Amino acid sequence: MRGFKNSRFCVLVIIFLLHFGVWCNGDTENMGAPMEQNEINALYSTIQGFVGKSWNGSDLYPDPCGWTPIQGVSCDLFDGFWYVTDINIGPIHDNSLSCTPNAEFNLNLFTLKHLKSLLFFNCFVSPRHHPTSIPSEGWELLASTLESLEFRSNPGLIGQIPSTFGRLRKLQSLVLIENGLSGEMPPNLGSLVNLRRLVLAGNKLNGEIPETFGGFTQLLICDLSRNSLSGVLPKALFGGLVSLLKLDLSSNNLQGKIPQEISKLKNLTLLDLSNNKLSNGLTKSLQEMTCLEELVLSKNPMGGFLEILDWHNMRKLTTLDLSNMNLTGGIPKSIADLKKLRFLGLNDNKLMGDIPKNLENLPYASAIYLYGNNLTGELQFSEWFYSKMGRRFGAWGNENLCYPIGLVSTSNVPYGVKQCQQELNIVMDLDTKSKLVNGSLLNSQSSMGYLNDYGIWRSYVVELFMVILLLLN
Ligand SMILES: *[C@@H]1O[C@H](CO)[C@@H](O)[C@H](O)[C@H]1NC(C)=O
Ligand SMILES: *[C@@H]1O[C@H](CO)[C@@H](O)[C@H](O)[C@H]1NC(C)=O
Ligand SMILES: *[C@@H]1O[C@H](CO)[C@@H](O)[C@H](O)[C@H]1NC(C)=O
Ligand SMILES: *[C@@H]1O[C@H](CO)[C@@H](O)[C@H](O)[C@H]1NC(C)=O
Ligand SMILES: *[C@@H]1O[C@H](CO)[C@@H](O)[C@H](O)[C@H]1NC(C)=O
């Protein structure tokens, strides 16, 4: 840190001396670092477009790449002249430039010869009062320089993503998140072969995912979530995205079966396809995705069986959310082999059968949700498990599930699950019946020391009923 500060200080001193030297020569016209007037004017008018006419760059920042730097603007030297490389507008830092309600794209933007990165945040805020669309022409002028384009949180930025973005062949990061963009994603974006990050989440994009997107062989992050994309997942996508680490297509209208080819995304660590219309059961090849840490497929009418996958292969999973998927069948024991699991969501399905006791042995589990199924039998977990998990063990809403009497003290009972003893009372074993015959109602109660008030009341009613039955006999 200290070294960094010192070197910065040296640079400042050198810059100061340079300027001082120029000033001493009395050459006040060239007081700033060498920068073409065109470049300076283009910078001023670009920023003025975003922040408003009252912003007077030449007044406030006569030497924008030198001794009067503009917050959010970076420069670099090319052939002995200063050029603007980065422009960041919006409330990113305390003293950042903020946009005016009437912000607009000034086309002089495209004459900045070495612009590498353009970001604006919270700039076009009102789709009602000042809807603005992205200029469709001009971007090709930035084709040989622009590496990063980010428009964040601009609900007033409407219309389509211009297909001319497909000409920005150096682009590594295209982030258009939480804007008001609509229409289809232009297929020719697929020619951005250097893209590492594609984030178009939180817009109103519709149509299908273009097959050309399979051409992003360098892509690491793909987030198209929270749009209105439809159609099936194109197989071509999975053959091409060989480097992908994160794929988030959640909250769209995608349908059909997850293609087998998905397992070609060998390095994927996050797959989120939740809240779509995917169906036809889980795809078996998912089990080959051994790098997955987060698998979220919840809220799809998927159907089919949880058991068709060999879960124990996916040992890196920390999050497994398969809730609300219309899954049926049992809970496979192999889920408990996922030792890194922190979150397990299997709630709101139609799962049946027993809950595997070995789920208790998941060392890092902080939430296990099994509620809203048709699970049956006696819960086999220890009291320690219930007290550790509290309500983050959710098994309520399973009609025929119970926890055994005697195992659990009333403070640590699984929430919303009934006690097995009540069922036994209804079945009424011979032993209890004979006690009743002998009129020892009180004795049979005190033997159920752990019953809560409701349980005692229930057993009273049941036993009285049995007495009446026996008397009638
Ligand atoms: C900025 O200020 C200068 C000098 O004060 C003035 O000449 C110029 O017209 C102003 N420019 C704008 C765009 O207001
Ligand atoms: C996948 O990850 C491994 C290890 O991190 C790496 O060596 C390999 O190049 C990656 N594969 C691709 C296609 O990026
Ligand atoms: C759930 O699956 C069953 C078949 O198991 C099917 O009949 C039903 O339509 C599915 N429900 C939904 C909401 O998809
Ligand atoms: C629950 O499972 C039982 C069989 O164990 C079955 O008879 C019943 O129909 C299921 N209930 C629901 C709501 O699926
Ligand atoms: C019921 O009481 C009779 C006599 O009081 C006794 O012989 C019998 O063993 C009792 N039955 C049971 C099951 O305790």
How confident is the model over 234-271, as pLDDT tens digits? Answer: 999 998 899 999 999 999 999 999 999 999 999 999 99
* 7 against 3, higher pLDDT: 7
Q: Measure 418 CA to ligand 4 centroid, in angstroms.
A: 18
Is residue 180 assigned to a domain? Answer: yes
How many independent structural domains does the chain possess?
A: 3
Q: Measure 471 CA to ligand 5 centroid, in angstroms.
A: 17
In this predicted structure, which of 27-31, 38-42, 356-360 has the lowest mean pLDDT?
27-31
**pLDDT at position 18:** 45
Q: Does 454 lie in the same domain as 410?
A: no
Is residue 258 assigned to a domain? Answer: yes
- Ligand 2, residues at Cβ distance < 6 Å: 242-243, 267
Domain endpoint, select from 398, 417, 436: 417
**pLDDT at position 30:** 43
How far is it, in rounded angstroms, from Cα 72 to Cα 66?
Answer: 14
Q: Which domain holds residue 200?
A: 98-417
Q: Which ligand is nearest to the CA of 266?
A: 2
Q: Which ligand is nearest to the CA of 327?
A: 3
Tens-digit pLDDT profile for residues 33-68: 589 999 999 999 999 999 999 999 999 999 999 989
**pLDDT at position 461:** 56
434 lines ligand 5 (CB under 6 A): yes
In this structure, the chain runs to a length of: 473
Q: Does 103 lie in the same domain as 24?
A: no
Q: Does 16 lie in the same domain as 107?
A: no
pLDDT at 448 > cutoff 50: no
41 lines ligand 4 (CB under 6 A): no
Is residue 117 assigned to a domain? Answer: yes
Nearest CA to ligand 1 atom 9: 56
Q: Measure 303 CA to ligand 3 centroid, in angstroms.
A: 6
How far is it, in rounded angstroms, from Cα 186 to Cα 165?
Answer: 9
Is residue 78 assigned to a domain? Answer: no
Q: Does 364 lie in the same domain as 467?
A: no
The pLDDT of 126-150, averaged and rounded, is 95
Q: Does 363 lie in the same domain as 455?
A: no
pTM given for the model: 0.81
In this predicted structure, which of 6-10, 183-187, 279-283, 312-316 has the lowest mean pLDDT?
6-10
Is residue 109 assigned to a domain? Answer: yes
Task: Tell me the angle at which helices 430-437 and 453-472 cross, rounded to the nearest 10 degrees.
Answer: 70
How far is it, in rounded angstroms, from Cα 302 to Cα 369?
Answer: 18
Q: Does 112 lie in the same domain as 16?
A: no
Q: Does 402 lie in the same domain as 376?
A: yes
Q: Does 454 lie in the same domain as 398?
A: no
Is residue 67 assigned to a domain? Answer: no
pLDDT at 339 > cutoff 80: yes
Q: Does 298 lie in the same domain as 246?
A: yes
Structure tokens, 253: 């209208």
Residues 208-223 as b or e (16 or more Cβ within 10 Å = b): ebbebbbbbebbbbbb
71 lines ligand 1 (CB under 6 A): no
Q: Does 432 lie in the same domain as 413?
A: no
Tens-digit pLDDT profile for residues 304-337: 999 999 998 999 999 999 999 999 999 999 999 9
Share of the chain above pLDDT 70, in %: 81
What is the Cβ-side half-sphere exposure of residue 205, based on CA atoms within 13 angstroms? 30
Structure tokens, 466: 């049995």
Nearest CA to ligand 1 atom 6: 59
Q: Does 124 lie in the same domain as 26?
A: no
Structure tokens, 409: 């003290």
Residue 157 CA, distance from chain mean position:
23
58 lines ligand 1 (CB under 6 A): yes
Q: Which ligand is nearest to the CA of 217?
A: 2
Atom of ligand 1 nearest to the CA of 48: 13
How far is it, in rounded angstroms, from Cα 111 to Cα 39?
Answer: 8
What CATH number does residue 206 fall under? 3.80.10.10
Is residue 85 assigned to a domain? Answer: no
Q: Does 322 lie in the same domain as 204?
A: yes
pLDDT at 1 > cutoff 60: no
Is residue 87 assigned to a domain? Answer: no
Nearest CA to ligand 2 atom 3: 267
